[in-house]
Amino acid sequence: MNKEQNKRSPQKPTFRKVLQKSALSFLAISPLLLGIIGLVGLFQVLVTPKMLATLFRGNGVIDTLIGTLAGATAAGNPVVSYLLGGELLNQGISLYAVSAFVISWVTLGLSHLPAEVEVFGGRFTLYRNILAFVFTMLIATLTTLTVQVLT
Amino acid sequence: MKEQDKPFVFRGKYLLLIVLIFYGLLFIGNSQAAQLALQKSGKTLVNIVPILLMVILLTSLLNFFLQPQQVARHLGEESGGKGWFWALAAGVISHGPMYIWYPLLEDLRSHGMKDAFIVVFFASRTIKIPLLPMMIDYFGLAFTIVLSFYLLVGALIQGLILEILQPQNGN
């Protein structure tokens, strides 16, 4: 019995201990998080919505690419991407480009890249971002085409 | 939970240093912009603290209740369709910025979670349930439904492609 208890006890730490360990692992990553938050602030100020809106050229294919890149460069709450996307639509920018912009705002993040590489490794980050980039354009195109057929 | 006893090391020190240097240079060149950036960063930090605390609690609960073998069973190679479903659902319901979830995912990955599921999780995060009414208001119901559908399907396909690109879990 005693032997069994001794066997189990080191395998099942108390919740307090587990909580402490999780808090420590987040503390360890705090410089990384602060670095990204700092970068997000810089991107929000240096890459303004007005600046992003001027990038679009009125060509469906090129604008979809620009929308994807602009969304990846921008930082902040996704609500901002909806507001800006709505404005871009009003300005006559295609739904292809706006959809790409809204999707890449969340799935791609230039300011997150250093942290993603640090946590998940370079190869995984490269694969994930290439996939997200290609699928952003693909989904934006398919969504627009489908919506056009439906309405 | 397997005790790993990794030594405590601060990560991302150099990134933080580079960002601080950027701020320093911006303060010299355009102090108003630097102050504004600092303000925005401070606001982001305040906004993510509650989510961060929630993620720490969630990480602890997962570590407390799930043994690494169980993580591997539910989210690892042998998880089957269940693992894909959980990755997709977790991505859709997760809040806050992407980077907040890095430590939890890293932890699950070290316990056997497949890389494909991390891809699915990140890809499905584009669907934000609390923001759906706003998306409908701006872009219409048809757009929101169609986009959400393609995002879910696209997330799964991205995970499957990653499995082809990276057949072994490349930790």
Predicted-complex ipTM score: 0.80
Closest CA to B37 of B25, B49, B51, B50: B25
Q: Is residue A1 over pLDDT 70? A: no
Give the model confidence (pLDDT) of A109-146 as tens digits: 888 899 999 999 999 999 999 999 999 999 999 999 99
- What local confidence, expressed as pLDDT, does residue B134 receive? 86
Better pLDDT: A50 or B90: B90
Selecting from A89, A118, A147 the residue whose C-beta is nearest the C-beta of B12 gives: A118
CA distance A67 to A86: 13
User: pTM value?
Assistant: 0.81
Which residues in chain B touch residue A146, judged by CB atoms under 8 angstroms apart?
146, 150
Quote the pLDDT of residue A92.
84
Q: Is pLDDT of A38 > 80? A: yes
Q: Which domain holds residue A27?
A: 2-150
For chain A, positions 86-145, list CB contacts with chain B under 8 A. 86, 89, 95, 98-99, 102-103, 106-107, 109, 112, 114-116, 118-121, 123-124, 127-128, 131-132, 135, 138-139, 142-143
Task: Supply the pLDDT for residue A7.
Answer: 47
* Closest among B117, B25, B41 to B76, alpha carbons compared: B117
pLDDT band for position A10 (50/70/90)?
low
| Domain count within chain A | 1
Q: For residue A111, how far is the Cα from the chain centroid? A: 9
Task: Name residues of chain B where pLDDT drops below 70.
Answer: 1-6, 168-171
Task: Check whether A17 has a pLDDT greater than 80.
Answer: yes
B169 close to B115: Cβ distance less than 8 angstroms: yes
**B141-165 helix and A95-107 helix, angle to the nearest 10 degrees:** 50
Residue B79 tokens read as: 């998880």
User: How far is Cα B58 from Cα B60, in angstroms, rounded to an integer?
Assistant: 5
Return d(Cα B120, Cα B152) in angstroms, integer: 9
The model's pLDDT over B23-65, given as tens digits with 9 standing for 90+, comes to 999 999 999 999 999 999 999 899 888 888 988 998 888 888 8
Q: Which is nearest to A73 in space by CA: A39, A30, A116?
A: A39
Q: Is A149 on the interface with B (CB under 8 A)?
A: no
Q: Where are the beta strands (DSSP E) in chain B?
A: none
Asked whether A113 and A125 are in contact (CB, 8 A), the reply is yes
- Mutation pick from B21, B39, B64 vs chain A, by most beta carbons of A within 10 Å, is B64
Alpha helices in chain B (DSSP H): 13-29, 31-65, 68-75, 81-93, 102-110, 115-124, 132-139, 141-165
State the pLDDT at residue B5: 58
Percent of chain A with pLDDT over 90: 45
> Is the pLDDT confidence value at A59 over 60?
yes
The one-letter amino acid at B5: D
pLDDT at A5: 47
pLDDT at A8: 47
Contact between B114 and B75 (Cβ < 8 Å): yes
**Which residue among B41, B100, B119 places its CB closest to the CB of A128?**
B119
Task: Decide if B88 contacts B123 (C-beta within 8 A).
Answer: no
What confidence tier does A49 reach under pLDDT thresholds 50, 70, 90?
confident
CA-to-CA distance for A100 and A133, rounded, in angstroms? 9
In this structure, the number of other CB atoms found within 10 A of the CB of residue B50 comes to: 11
Cα–Cα distance, B149 to B151 (Å, whole number) = 5
Measured CA to CA, the distance from residue B116 to residue B77 in angstroms comes to 10
pLDDT, averaged across chain A: 86
Residue A17 Cα distances to A24, A25, A70, angstroms? 10, 12, 44
